[in-house]
Structure 1
Amino acid sequence: MFDPSSINLTKLAFNQSCRNREIIGCNWCVKGADWYCDSCRLTRTIPHLGSTRNVMLWRRVEEAKRRLLYDLRRLGLPLVSRSGDRVAFDILSDEINPILTGHLSGVITLNLAEADDVEREARRVAFREPYRTLLGHFRHEIGHFYWDLLVNSTTFQAPFKLIFGDETQDYQAAISSYYGRTDRSYDRSGFISEYATSHPWEDWAETFAHFLHILSTLDSLAGLPLSLDERARQTLTDPYLESDFEALLALWSPLSRGLNELNRSLGMNDAYPFDISPAVKGKLHLVHMAIVAFREQQRLAA
């Protein structure tokens, strides 16, 4: 089982397994007399489990959520804001009412239908998105939570306005305008995705998600039997704690191209169908700087 306190797989007694192990295959261990692991305890609302389909989809959702929490633990980011808002998850099924995936004051709501490959692909095509995954949803929504922690009322707020735009513009009006557009073209040199153009907060959340995509993939690369130079091996020792942003991008650029070529050789869509332009690179760099600065503040305060 996975021990989140040591960030490692370990052999534990059966009574240290999460109570959700049987129903959704949770492989995280519990602490002390707790019944649920750190990940499952963050899910405050589970979907209606009256069908085997919902159980299967919930299993997929929780697997993606555990990957997100692994990212955050490796980055050293907390699950509570300065104002006391705590990260929590509502996983809801829309048999009765439509469910919108989103974030509010630390609570991430996810529509269970996003775990259905057919449903998610239909929505990806309908919204003209090159990429739409469960893990991508989680990484995007948690980005909204960390904007408040890493940027709002910090020294990074002014650079944020300069690079991402003025976040004080009316959010609801901006989102309504985005979905009302008839012209779906956008400045691909300035934004990582079309949805990033809707509002500076969404641009940040999209960029934050892509930063996690990069770190997680590089972390997986570290375990492969590849021939790398000394600097690359140093970066892959722990990509989550790498202080040199350029070193991360130096590895990511050829890796993402290679992943796309491999997928094309198998007749599949590109694994990473995005271009990191100089402007997007600057936005990713700001995300990295904000995280590194926060970690340093926490270290000095300890």
Structure 2
Amino acid sequence: MRDFKCPHCGQLSAFELSKCNGCMQPLIFDPENMAMIGAESALECVNRNIIGCNWCAVSTTSYCMSCSLTHVIPATQNPRNVALWKRVEEAKRRLIYDLRRLRVPIAFAGGFRLAFEILSDEHGPVLTGHESGLITLNLAEADDVQREIRRVSFREPYRTLLGHFRHEIGHFYWNALIHEAGFRAPFRLVFGDETENYQAALAYYYARQDWSCDPASHISMYATSHPWEDWAETFAHFLHIVSTLDSLAGLPLSLDARGTHTLNDPYLESDFGALLELWTPLALTINRLNRSLGLADAYPFDISPAVEGKLHLVHMAITAFRNRQGNAHTTPMMC
């Protein structure tokens, strides 16, 4: 993500800030115009004082565009819950930013609409997942220690809050981008037959003794469990790529004309090959930078030809959907 400018002094301001580090003036992010604005220019989200939300409230409610999608929150009497909920909403705002930049809707005809439940497992187990537009997230995923324990337990090279959101949103968009868009034949050719019993496939995945994964065919081990999970994992990685390239766009780089064009807006780049051509050396570079600091690789994955084909299908499906909506007389509700 690119930095934004303070409307008062012009200093660069990070996406999460609610106060300029230069002139110290309060800031609000306006997702409609994708810009930081002065606090005097818009109403604050009601969650600003509770969890530090720095987005402006929408005209029809006291909540911002992102917070209004959260239908259930953890018990706020527990200070730990509030601290973790703050982290969850920070990650979710980045997700909503992704969706705005991709120009994809959060609601469709027939009432299929995106919503979130942020639940604590203090009163029972909570499974992170998606069902009919409702994304449930276990609050414990915002606890760095608990999340790392889960990451090691499931032998995952990468596990983040933002990664969870980007994965689950892939499930949300499968119906519109694949099922209803005439992409089921190419989907099955690339990802496999999604009519395979989903619950049985997951049960087999968690019960199996062999936890090896062939990186030549899947982006992650979890992607091997079922074609739907393969799609969601791949969708998440597509968002990782375009978002990170968008951050690269703000750096003083020497690029050829094609690279400059791609970085003008990676989210809307029509040439998938151009995206991957920039991503490959960038992923290698950020991994080397992390190693120089004694950290684990930021992107511990290899994009094989098979995985590249899956990412390409995600890109094609998003682009085709956006083009159809642009040519239609009526469009689904946008974020």
Q: Which amino acid is 1:284 matched to?
A: L
TM-score using structure 1 length: 0.98
Aligned twin of 1:62: 89
Residue 288 of structure 1: SS of its match in structure 2?
helix
Q: Which residue of 1 aligns with 2:23?
A: none
Which residue of the other structure, out of 284, 292, 306, is the alignment partner of 1:279?
306
**Equivalence map 1:110-125=2 (5 Å):** 110-125=137-152
Q: Distance in 1 between matches of 2:167 and 2:86?
A: 20
1:255 aligns with 2:298: no
Q: Give how far 1:33 is off.
A: 5.5
Residues of 2 paired with 1:11 and 1:257: CA distance? 38
Aligned to 1:86: 113
* Map of 2:20 onto structure 1: none
Q: CA deviation at 1:14?
A: 7.3
Change (3 A) 1:277 1:15: closer
| Distance verdict in 2 for CA 1:29–1:170, change over 3 Å | same
Residue 294 (structure 1) aligns with = 321
Cα deviation code 1:240-266 (max 9, x no counterpart): 000000000000000000000000011
CA distance in 1 between partners of 2:185 and 2:42 (Å)? 50
| Residue number among 13, 20, 28 corresponding to 2:40 in the alignment | 13
- 1:182-201 aligned at under 5 Å gives the runs 182-201=209-228
* Aligned structure 1 segments of 4 or more residues deviating by more than 3 angstroms: none
Match of 1:209 among 225, 231, 236: 236
Count how many residue pairs are aligned between Structure 1 and Structure 2: 302
* 2:123 counterpart SS class: coil
Which of 55, 69, 78 is residue 42 of structure 1 equivalent to? 69
Q: Would you say the 8 A contact 1:72–1:78 is kept in 2? A: yes
| Aligned position for 2:264 | 237
Deviation per residue, 1:194-233 (Å, 9 max, x gap): 0000000000000000000001000011011122221111
2-structure distance, mates of 1:45, 1:33: 19
**CA displacement, residues 48-82 of structure 1 (integer Å, 9 cap, x when unaligned):** 11221111100000000000000001001100134
Q: Which has the higher contact order (CA 8 A, sep 6+)?
A: 2
Measure the CA separation in 2 of the matches of 1:121 and 1:187. 23
Distance 1:14 1:245 in 2: 39
Contact 2:181 2:321 in 1 (8 A): no
Q: Residue 100 and residue 82 in structure 1: after superposition, are their counterparts in 2 closer, same or farther (change >3 A)?
A: same
Normalising by structure 2, report the TM-score: 0.88
Superposed CA RMSD in Å reads 1.0
Native 8 Å contact 1:186 1:194 kept in 2: yes
Task: Tell me if structure 2 keeps the 8 A contact 1:115–1:134.
Answer: yes
Structure 1 position 102, deviation (Å): 0.2
Quick one: which amino acid aligns to residue 51 of structure 1? Answer: N
Which SS does the other structure have where 1:10 is aligned? strand
Unaligned runs of 5+ in 2: 1-27, 330-335
1:242–1:15 Cα change, 3 Å: closer
- Contact 1:82/1:149 (8 A) holds in 2: no
